[in-house]
Amino acid sequence: MEKEIVKAWNGKRTDKVPMWLMRQAGRYLPEYREVRAKAGGFLNMVYNPAIAKEITLQPLKRFDLDAAILFSDILVVPHALGLKLAFMEGEGPKLDVVTDATRLNENGFLDRLAPVMDTVAAVKADLPKGKALIGFVGSPWTVASYMVHGEGGHDFALIRNFAKLEPDAFQRIIDVLVRVTISYLDAQVRAGAEAVQVFESWASAVTGDDFKRWVVAPNAAIVAGFKKLHPHVPVIGFPRTAKTDDLLAFDIGCNAIGLSQDVAPEWAAKHLQTRVCVQGNLAPELLLEGGAKMEETAKNICLSLDGGPFVFNLGHGVIKETDPSHVAALVETVHGFKRRALAA
Ligand code: CP3
């Protein structure tokens, strides 16, 4: 039987609102912090299938979420292409800087990610009944922004300049990322992932024609390549903070579109939900705050998107200072939401 959340991603309006949360596993959970302290670093957890499996399943032990998302990171892709990667406590990721695609080593790419596929298979084997497992990748533009700058927390000046002054060299990097991303998604699905999310977290750093070339085109190529291999596995696109015109241009064959909190749910109901499942979009700051305002806003999002296929989520990841009891309250609110009967 098809799981409820998978039905929703596939475009059906489900009886209850299914939900998961971006960064649902992570530092706001004391049990995550405990494992992290013992493992001695983020990448030691990501490449250890027993630990990564445990962390992936931690939020499902506490909360009645409808899906687990693989515990990993979007930056394992450049890492597996041979770039040095480190996650410094409190500083975010550091990566070798690359502007020349010939420095990327595609040979053995999937072999270096074998522990991640082992994690997927291990989680799948132990997944509670009715829950789904989500795999994911970062989109080329977002991943390339870390490759060109060597770190996060920048203003995108280097990558914008590079794309403008050396579009052919930049295109070659994007082309490598498109190719390996399709094979990595394929491997995750073969290992057991039941849906995949494509994170374009920095979609709003480009607009207009640049958005079409560097955001829409590579994501469209990934979705098309993936759908050839797995026509029935839902793809969720997440072009975070893209403007409404750009969001419309992002209709590239994804089954669902994830929305950040800056998009009005009423707008999405009218312009997106008629064609795809909509996923989102409570502000993580409201989850941090908790209480009546969080619950009211969550209900209003459910009401606005009640007319069609809908999966509840945040507009971005859970903030690390969030009290886990707020997550429990949010799950109760969303799962307690009564959908209205639609005329047949
Ligand atoms: O959502 C999940 O729970 C699944 C696991 C997941 C992580 N990162 C774990 C993680 C996913 C899907 C990601 C995606 C990711 N990683 C994105 C796209 C989504 C987004 O947040 O916009 C990006 C841009 C990254 C890159 C990245 N990873 C940064 C910038 C950082 C440092 C900032 C931070 O929050 O610490 C990370 C580290 C990271 N990835 C952590 C986790 C749980 C924190 C690691 C730790 O210190 O324990």
Contacts of 233 (CB under 8 A, 6+ apart): 189, 193, 194, 195, 196, 226
* CA angle (71, 74, 80) in 5-degree steps: 100
Task: Please report whether residue 342 resides in a domain.
Answer: no
At 136, is the secondary structure helix, strand, or coil? strand
Cα gap 72→267, rounded to integer Å: 32
Residue with tokens 């009290």: 323
Ligand 1 atom at minimum distance from 199 CA: 18
Give residue 300's domain range. Answer: 4-335
Ligand 1 atom at minimum distance from 25 CA: 3
Q: Is the pLDDT at 344 greater than 70, yes or no?
A: no
Q: Is the pLDDT at 32 greater than 90, yes or no?
A: yes
pLDDT band at 343 (very low <50, low <70, confident <90, very high): confident
| Residues acting as catalytic residues | 23, 27, 36, 73, 146
pLDDT of residue 153: 86
Residues 128-165 pLDDT 10s:
999 999 999 999 999 999 999 999 988 999 999 999 99
pLDDT band at 1 (very low <50, low <70, confident <90, very high): confident
Report which protein residue has its CA nearest ligand 1's atom 32: 92
Q: Is the pLDDT at 342 greater than 90, yes or no?
A: no
Report which protein residue has its CA nearest ligand 1's atom 5: 71
User: In the predicted model, what is the mean pLDDT of the chain?
Assistant: 97
Residues 228-276 pLDDT 10s:
999 999 999 999 999 999 999 999 999 999 999 999 999 999 999 999 9
Task: Please report whether residue 115 resides in a domain.
Answer: yes
**Looking at the 3D structure of the chain, how many domains does it have?**
1
* CA angle (268, 73, 217) in 5-degree steps: 50
Distance of CA 222 to CAs 84, 146, 147, Å? Answer: 25, 19, 19
Residues 278-318 pLDDT 10s:
999 999 999 999 999 999 999 999 999 999 999 999 999 99
pLDDT of residue 59: 98
Q: Helical H runs in the chain?
A: 4-9, 30-39, 42-46, 49-62, 76-80, 109-112, 114-126, 140-149, 157-165, 167-191, 208-211, 217-229, 244-249, 265-271, 284-289, 291-304, 324-336
pLDDT band at 88 (very low <50, low <70, confident <90, very high): confident
pLDDT band at 90 (very low <50, low <70, confident <90, very high): confident
Ligand 1 atom at minimum distance from 46 CA: 9
Q: What is the pTM of this model?
A: 0.97
**CATH number of domain containing 83:** 3.20.20.210
Q: Which residues pair with 256 in a beta bridge?
A: 236, 277
Question: How many whole angstroms from 254 Cα to the centroid of ligand 1?
Answer: 22
Percentage of residues of the chain with pLDDT beyond 70: 100
Instruction: Choose the residue to mutate in 20, 21, 22, 23 for probing ligand 1, maximizing ligand atoms within 8 Å of C-beta.
Output: 23
Burial class (CB in 10 A: 0-12, 13-18, 19+), 243: middle
Pocket of ligand 1 (CB under 6 A): 22-27, 36, 42, 69, 71-75, 87, 92-93, 136, 138, 152, 199, 201, 317
Task: Please report whether residue 340 resides in a domain.
Answer: no
Q: What would the mean pLDDT of 58-65 be, rounded to a whole number?
A: 98
Report which protein residue has its CA nearest ligand 1's atom 12: 73
pLDDT of residue 16: 97
Cα gap 210→89, rounded to integer Å: 34
Task: Please report whether residue 344 resides in a domain.
Answer: no
Report which protein residue has its CA nearest ligand 1's atom 35: 92
Q: Is the pLDDT at 331 greater than 80, yes or no?
A: yes
Residue with tokens 């004391």: 30
